[in-house]
Amino acid sequence: MDYFVFKDGELYCEDVRVSVIAEKVGTPFYLYSASTIERHLKAYESALTGLPHLVCYAVKANSNLAVLKLLGDLGAGADIVSGGELFRVTKAGISPQKVVYSGVGKSEHEISMALDQGILMFNVESFGELKAIERLSQEKGKVAPISFRVNPDVDPKTHPYISTGLEENKFGLPVEDALRAYEYAKSSDCLAIKGISCHIGSQLTDLSPFIDALKRVLRLVDTLHDKGIDIEFLDMGGGLGIRYSDETPPLPEEYADALRETLGERPITLVLEPGRSIVGNAGILVTKVLYKKETGKKAFLIVDAAMNDLARPSLYKAHHEIVPVERGGRESRPFDVVGPICETGDFFARSRELEDVDPGALLAIRSAGAYGFTMSSNYNSRPRVAEVMARGDHFSVVRARETYDDLIRGEEFFHG
């Protein structure tokens, strides 16, 4: 079920007219459907029925407290990659015992914070990090729960910037190094081996790379068992893609069935870290057309949102569907949809067939719930936009639009 639908030519989010929200909140703003987020998480839970599992939502996809609270109340854990994300997760009420801490560059402060909170496990990505965790655990008189992230050298067939499982990527340990790391951890009184982790990339639309990676990881699990090291948690990361235009990504039940078949009867708890597939199609970015500009070769729709609000098109040349919030029945023609920022790369679409709208019209940039606001910035001293959530016929602002005063908070004149 799609909760962003047109009724009588006007776009609704659940049972709320998007234009009404725009009148109340102003533009641009992100708009999330609570029912969509809930439906997507429940699809994973249903697909994994019968498998011991924990769904740890990837906070980096969308870290708004309202999103985290909604998912936490439904039983989700969290996959985090920073101390700030751990702070958000605990504020939202998600138990630290459901938190997995990934990422290659955990600082000592962040490691200490996670040790004090009592997280489920660290996904360790280097020997240097392992030694830091061991030392800090010893200083605190604690035992750190750890998993090693293994790099299986599998091509995920996705954009190179979001590929993470190739030998050339910065993430994880090669299998040979992982063996030595596990043997070292087994000998330490300050480290408790909990799991093994693997994450090969994002926006995957084919199951074969997942299964290839899983088979390689399971070979290592079996080798570790032979050495007296048993694995409790198998963390396969996230990465399941969504439909932005014409992609046909596998459904959670298809993914779960393939994992179930490959895992067999192993007594292991599966951890999945979906992010984009939970929130990506649960959000839109609503923007207003400021000007329509014609040149000899191009027609531009200049909108009030920009690359600082949604970076994916300029960063990855990513495709996002763009639709008018109110359909006027005019003919379509090619437009570049661009923002106000002083960069040629500030665009949402190029030569896109869109209905010929006038200044003042609202546009919805779809599939913007993941890696939208979380990647936004204040470039060109632009305040970050509001975030809104709707359920049924109700909506509320879940993050206020920044003010100009917010832009300079913490800054001081130099008095040297």
Secondary structure string (H, E, C) spanning 74-91: CCCEEEECCHHHHHHHHH
Please tell me the predicted confidence (pLDDT) of residue 163: 40
Query: What are the residues whose beta carbons fall under 8 Å from the beta carbon of 169, sequence distance 6 or more?
Result: 151, 163
Amino acid 79: pLDDT: 98
Provide the pLDDT for residue 203.
81
Q: How far apart are the first and last CA of the chain?
A: 61
Across the strands, what pairs with 240? 204
Same fold, 4-32+280-407 and 34-276: no
Range of lowest pLDDT (57-66, 190-199, 249-258, 308-317): 249-258
Tell me the pLDDT tens digit for each residue of 21-52: 999 999 999 999 999 999 999 999 999 999 99
Q: What is the CATH number assigned to the segment(s) 4-32+280-407?
A: 2.40.37.10
Radius of gyration of the chain from its Cα atoms, rounded to whole angstroms: 23
**Per-residue pLDDT tens over the stretch 208-230:** 888 888 888 999 999 999 999 99
Q: How many CB atoms lie within 10 A of CB 253?
A: 14
Q: Return the active site residues.
A: 342
Question: Is CATH 3.20.20.10 the classification given to domain 34-276?
Answer: yes
Domain ranges of the chain: 4-32+280-407, 34-276
Is the predicted pLDDT of residue 144 greater than 70, yes or no? yes
User: Which pairs from 110-116 meet CB under 8 Å and 24+ separation?
Assistant: 110/82, 110/83, 110/86, 111/136, 112/136, 112/140, 113/83, 113/86, 113/87, 114/83, 114/86, 115/140, 115/142, 115/144, 116/140
Residues 332-346, mean pLDDT to the nearest whole number: 97
pLDDT for 390 equals: 98
Band (155; pLDDT cuts 50, 70, 90): low
Query: Scanning the structure block, which residue is given the tokens 């661009």?
Result: 338
- Please check the confidence at residue 255 and state whether its pLDDT lies above 70: yes
Amino acid identity for residue 228 in this structure: G
Tell the burial category of 397 from Cβ atoms under 10 Å away from its Cβ (0-12, 13-18, 19+): middle
Contact 74, 54 (CB under 8 A): no
Tell how far CA 218 is from the center of its chain. Answer: 26
- pLDDT of 170: 52
The answer to whether 313 and 320 have CB atoms below 8 angstroms apart is yes
**Could you identify the residue written with the tokens 């399941």?**
240
The pLDDT, as a whole number, for residue 152 is 79
φ, ψ of residue 315 to 5 degrees: the values are -80, -45
* pLDDT exceeds 60 at position 169: no
Average pLDDT, the chain: 93
Cβ burial of 393 (10 Å; 0-12, 13-18, 19+) is exposed
Confidence of residue 172 (pLDDT cuts 50, 70, 90): confident
